[in-house]
């Protein structure tokens, strides 16, 4: 069981900045995010969109903002657990003290005196193929909703489903190493970058990619793993069989509050109610920062989340070191940061 000063649920901009503020006070963090990369909405929904309202930064794309936050927290100790969702949270007694324990979908357990819920609008969940019953039974056995390792697809018969940037990008990329690659979409029009679509169509002309439109998955066949599939041709209504080893469904993501609604916290609609003194929820030691929280005058802005987590971290410190003064000071005189950055006095 991993013990840490602060468990942060969500590695969006507010979760990432929590590591910085905690680090200034000498506290360490464990970040857990359902996505396969840090950055939350910035990285997942609008990486190339400009952001103009970060103080002192006139212009940054959302991905540049995430990269800058990752750079800023480099000096500090933190763990980042990706591609797993925090599902349960409960109070436990550990060595005669009260702690919170969280469990993830990967069966990992973490305990801490402080949980920061920085879960934004909820966890991003991949959209499943609508007409296949329980496609998840083939997860890691031929069905995926994201590409995690290019090597996995080497010399395999790969089918990619979808019509956006991810489907186009991975079709082009995996065509270099897969045994065969087929792109399946319900119509012959794509929503992704024109340049990548052109690359894909050139590969089709060279017989390096098989383009199947207008088609839809009809069934997945296999015992222990995917062995073949059938596809429905929308024009002819015929069901066609194909040999397949790996299926990658790239239909985008849904935002789901999911387990958070079951944690018995005071809510206002789908947001967690907090006080504005330290952004604690209705339970001691559980804080909610960033887009997930609610209080009078709340604005869903990155800047607001940064303020909230800065104050919440102060309270977290007091919970770990009761009665001690919180070591407040400007970063230029923060010995922990100067030490980590190797600044010589």
**Interface with ligand FAD (CB under 6 A), residue from 70, 82, 267, 301:** 301
Q: Which pair of structure tokens corresponds to residue 298?
A: 């709340």
197 touching ligand FAD, by CB under 6 A: no
Shortest separation between residue 313's beta carbon and ligand FAD, angstroms? 14
Shortest separation between residue 107's beta carbon and ligand FAD, angstroms? 14
48 touching ligand FAD, by CB under 6 A: no
Shortest separation between residue 100's beta carbon and ligand FAD, angstroms? 14
Nearest residue to the partner ligand FAD, using Cβ: 120
Please state whether beta strands 86-94 and 97-104 pair in parallel, antiparallel, or not at all (unpaired): antiparallel
Specify burial of residue 300 (Cβ count, 10 A radius: 0-12, 13-18, 19+). middle
Choices 206-214, 215-223, 295-303, 337-345; region in contact with ligand FAD by CB under 6 A: 295-303
288 touching ligand FAD, by CB under 6 A: no
The alpha carbon dihedral of 99, 281, 121, 320 has a sign of negative
34 or 171: whose CB is closer to ligand FAD?
34
> Where in 235-264 is the site for ligand FAD (CB under 6 A)?
259-260
Of 103, 94, 115, the C-alpha closest to 9 is 115
Shortest separation between residue 74's beta carbon and ligand FAD, angstroms? 19
The length of the chain in residues reads 345
**Interface with ligand FAD (CB under 6 A), residue from 118, 167, 220, 247:** 118
**Interface with ligand FAD (CB under 6 A), residue from 26, 45, 72, 307:** 45
Cis amide linkage into residue 214, ω under 30° from 0: yes
> Where in 51-80 is the site for ligand FAD (CB under 6 A)?
51, 53
Site for ligand FAD (CB under 6 A): how many residues? 37
> Where in 121-150 is the site for ligand FAD (CB under 6 A)?
121-124
Residues 87, 103: contact at Cβ < 8 Å?
A: yes
86 or 167: whose CB is closer to ligand FAD?
86
Cα–Cα distances in angstroms (integers) from residue 332 to residues 62, 173, 308, 329, 343, in the given order: 27, 45, 22, 8, 10
Residues 101, 110: contact at Cβ < 8 Å?
A: yes
Q: Determine the Cα–Cα distance for residues 278 and 110; give it in Å rounded to an integer.
A: 23
Q: Determine the Cα–Cα distance for residues 226 and 187; give it in Å rounded to an integer.
A: 25
Residues 114, 319: contact at Cβ < 8 Å?
A: yes
Choices 119-127, 194-202, 244-252, 274-282; region in contact with ligand FAD by CB under 6 A: 119-127
Q: Determine the Cα–Cα distance for residues 81 and 85; give it in Å rounded to an integer.
A: 9
101 touching ligand FAD, by CB under 6 A: no
DSSP-derived letter for residue 106 is T
Interface ranges with ligand FAD (CB under 6 A): 9-15, 32-35, 40-42, 45-46, 49, 51, 53, 85-86, 118-124, 259-260, 290-291, 300-303, 305
């Amino acid at each position: 069981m991993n013990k840490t000063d602060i468990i942060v649920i969500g590695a969006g901009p507010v979760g990432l900045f929590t590591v910085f503020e905690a680090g200034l006070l000498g506290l360490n963090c464990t970040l857990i995010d359902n996505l396969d990369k840090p950055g939350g909405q910035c990285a997942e929904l609008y990486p190339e969109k400009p952001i103009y309202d970060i103080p002192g930064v006139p212009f940054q794309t959302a991905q540049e903002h995430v990269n800058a936050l990752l750079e800023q927290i480099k000096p500090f100790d933190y763990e980042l657990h990706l591609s797993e969702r925090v599902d349960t949270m409960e109070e436990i007694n550990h060595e005669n003290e009260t702690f919170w324990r969280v469990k993830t979908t990967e069966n990992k357990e973490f305990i801490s005196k402080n949980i920061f819920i920085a879960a934004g609008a909820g966890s991003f969940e991949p959209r499943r193929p609508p007409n296949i019953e329980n496609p998840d039974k083939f997860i890691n056995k031929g069905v995926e909703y994201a590409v995690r390792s290019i090597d996995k697809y080497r010399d395999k018969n790969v089918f990619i489903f979808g019509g956006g940037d991810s489907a186009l990008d991975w079709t082009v990329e995996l065509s270099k190493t897969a045994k065969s690659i087929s792109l399946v979409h319900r119509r012959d029009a794509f929503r992704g970058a024109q340049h990548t679509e052109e690359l894909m169509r050139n590969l089709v002309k060279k017989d390096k990619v098989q383009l199947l439109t207008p088609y839809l998955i009809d069934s997945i066949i296999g015992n222990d793993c995917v062995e073949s599939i059938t596809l429905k041709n929308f024009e002819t209504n015929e069901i066609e069989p194909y040999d397949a080893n790996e299926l990658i469904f790239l239909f985008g993501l849904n935002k789901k509050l999911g387990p958070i609604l079951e944690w018995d916290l005071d809510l206002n609609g789908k947001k967690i109610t907090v006080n504005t003194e330290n952004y604690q929820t209705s339970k001691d030691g559980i804080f909610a920062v960033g887009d997930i929280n609610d209080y009078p005058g709340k604005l869903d802005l990155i800047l607001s989340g940064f303020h909230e987590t800065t104050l919440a971290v102060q309270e977290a410190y007091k919970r770990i070191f009761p009665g001690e003064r919180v070591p407040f000071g400007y970063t230029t005189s923060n010995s922990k940061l100067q030490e980590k950055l190797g600044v010589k006095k």
